[in-house]
């Protein structure tokens, strides 16, 4: 795959843009492609957010703050890696709105191998931990790298079983944050023998709203996801759902109907997940799995260096047309394509309004190209 190399100045601008207020991955990509680079996009943020309805000046990440983050990451023995660049997981490029920049620490070559996720209950049973170890060792022997979320229970068992051959831990905070505390030594081992991945800057502690984003990356870097144990309201089921949305294979280990930790996995099986009784069950399915074409990522960025501020206002666009698009939005999510159809406006006009509203904090992106106004 052709991996575009960012200069140090471009990487600094990318970091500033994604760390600026209300800039999510989709808006980041649209801004980069509209303006030819992050530098011009940063200059356009105040005017775009003003047109979206923000009454104050938008908070833009300063050069000093971005430089401080880069220095901190280097001091930790880690590095930033941008989308489409070496060290950025291959499969992650193919999900809806991947993070433009990740922080990684460890063996970056693992990001370009065949990865499989194993997740499950934090309060895992002894049988669940043993099964996890057996399955993981079988998968590792076939050459797979094991990914998980470094949580207690099943995640921990999966990482430990794969430590000698290759494991990736996606953390829910900054790459320097230890969570849970009892996994401090394991996290250190993974940073040396495996690979740590973080979406958030150093110093950010894991919060409840961070875990779905972490789960999205765990499934996004993987060919498939195995859920060993999970209650009906488990975060592991979020990972499984996201895997299905991303076109990944979902596997589950059946359990006793009397065990609450089997409620979620049994429900996954009822909903069509692949049943796993032995490691070979996973390998047999993966043998027929069609890998995405890594030579054609779905999330290309045009960092041309030709900064163009003229893209801030489409030709012939005016407040009336903007109001027509806004009126079609509500707190109920709608597909962007449907919004374009009903507004009878060019795609560029609709996308511009969505960027303006998101920068003003008035728009929510729900994934799968669904958007709504904030309540």
Nearest Cα neighbor of 365 from 339, 337, 333 is 333
Tens digits of per-residue pLDDT, 187-198?
Answer: 999 999 999 999
Evaluate whether 94 touches 292 at the Cβ level (below 8 Å).
Answer: yes
**2 pLDDT above the threshold of 70:** no
Reply yes or no on whether the pLDDT at 32 is more than 50.
Answer: yes
Phi, psi values for residue 107, rounded to 5°: -85, 95
**C-alpha–C-alpha distance, residues 182 and 67, integer Å:** 32
In the prediction, which pLDDT does 311 show?
54
Average pLDDT over residues 200-209: 96
Q: Is the per-residue pLDDT at 291 higher than 60?
A: no
Q: Quick check: 228 pLDDT over 90? A: yes
Confidence grade of residue 290 (pLDDT, cut at 50, 70, 90): low
d(CA 93, CA 86): 12
SS3 sequence, 271-291?
A: CCCEECCCHHHHHHHHCCCCC
- For residues 64-71, give the mean pLDDT: 98
Mean pLDDT taken over the chain: 92
Q: What is the pLDDT of residues 108-121, one digit of tens each?
A: 999 999 999 999 99
> What whole-number distance in Å separates Cα of residue 268 and Cα of residue 148?
18
Rounded-to-integer distance, Cα 248 and Cα 253, Å: 17
The beta strand positions in 285-343, using DSSP E, are 334-335
Q: Helices 8-18 and 38-52, interaxial angle, to 10°?
A: 20
- Identify the structural domains of the chain with CATH numbers, from first to last: 8-75+315-373 (1.10.10.10), 91-286 (3.40.50.450)
Distance CA 95, CA 105 (A): 22
**CA-wise closest residue to 236 among 203, 214, 257, 205:** 214
Query: Which residues fall within 8 angstroms of residue 287, CB to CB, at 6 or more apart?
Result: none
Can you tell me the distance from the alpha carbon of 50 to that of 119, in angstroms, rounded to the nearest whole number?
Answer: 43
What pLDDT is stored for residue 315 in this prediction?
A: 52
- Alpha-carbon gap, residue 72 to 198, rounded angstroms: 14
pLDDT in tens, 328-340: 999 999 999 999 9
**pLDDT level of residue 1 (50, 70, 90 thresholds):** very low
> Which band of pLDDT confidence, cut at 50, 70 and 90, is reported for residue 305?
low
Q: How many CA atoms lie within 13 A of 315 on its CB side?
A: 0
Summarize the confidence of residues 216-244 as an average pLDDT. 97
Burial 215-250 (b: 16+ CB within 10 A, else e): bbbbbbbbbbbbbbbbbeebbbbbbbbbbbebebbb
Q: Which of 197, 29, 60, 191 is nearest to 117 (CA)?
A: 197
Degrees, nearest 5: CA angle 206-234-93: 60
Question: In the structure, what pLDDT confidence band is assigned to residue 3 with cuts at 50, 70 and 90?
Answer: low
């Amino acid at each position: 795959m052709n991996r575009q190399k960012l200069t140090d100045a471009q990487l600094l601008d990318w970091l500033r843009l994604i760390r600026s207020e209300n800039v999510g991955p989709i808006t980041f990509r649209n801004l980069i492609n509209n303006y030819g680079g992050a530098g011009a996009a940063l200059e356009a943020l105040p005017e775009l957010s003003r047109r979206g309805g923000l009454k104050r000046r938008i908070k833009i990440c300063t050069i000093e703050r971005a430089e401080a983050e880069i220095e901190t990451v280097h001091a930790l023995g880690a590095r930033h890696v941008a989308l489409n660049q070496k060290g950025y997981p291959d499969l992650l490029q193919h999900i809806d709105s991947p993070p433009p920049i990740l922080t990684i620490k460890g063996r970056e070559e693992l990001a370009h191998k065949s990865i499989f996720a194993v997740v499950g209950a934090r309060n895992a049973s002894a049988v669940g931990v043993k099964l996890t170890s057996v399955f993981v060792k079988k998968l590792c022997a076939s050459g797979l790298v094991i990914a998980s979320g470094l949580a207690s229970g099943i995640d921990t068992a999966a990482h430990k079983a794969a430590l000698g051959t290759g494991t990736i831990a996606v953390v829910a905070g900054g790459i320097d944050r230890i969570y849970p505390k009892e996994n401090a030594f394991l996290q250190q081992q993974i940073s040396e023998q495996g690979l740590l991945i973080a979406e958030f800057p150093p110093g950010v502690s894991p919060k409840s709203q961070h875990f779905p984003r972490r789960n999205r990356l765990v499934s996004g870097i993987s060919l498939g996801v195995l859920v060993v144990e999970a209650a009906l309201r488990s975060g592991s089921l979020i990972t499984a759902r996201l895997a299905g949305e991303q076109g990944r294979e979902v596997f589950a280990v059946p359990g006793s109907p009397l065990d609450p930790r089997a409620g979620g996995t049994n429900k996954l099986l009822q909903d069509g997940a692949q049943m796993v009784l032995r490691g070979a069950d996973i390998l047999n399915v993966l043998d027929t799995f069609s890998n995405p074409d890594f030579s054609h990522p779905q999330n290309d960025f045009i960092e041309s260096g030709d900064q163009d501020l003229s893209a801030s206002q489409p030709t012939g666009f005016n407040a009336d047309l903007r109001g027509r698009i806004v009126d079609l939005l509500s707190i109920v999510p709608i597909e962007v394509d449907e919004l374009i159809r009903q507004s009878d406006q060019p795609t560029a006009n609709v996308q511009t309004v969505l960027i303006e509203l998101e920068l003003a904090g008035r728009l929510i992106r729900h994934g799968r190209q669904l958007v709504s106004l904030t309540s």
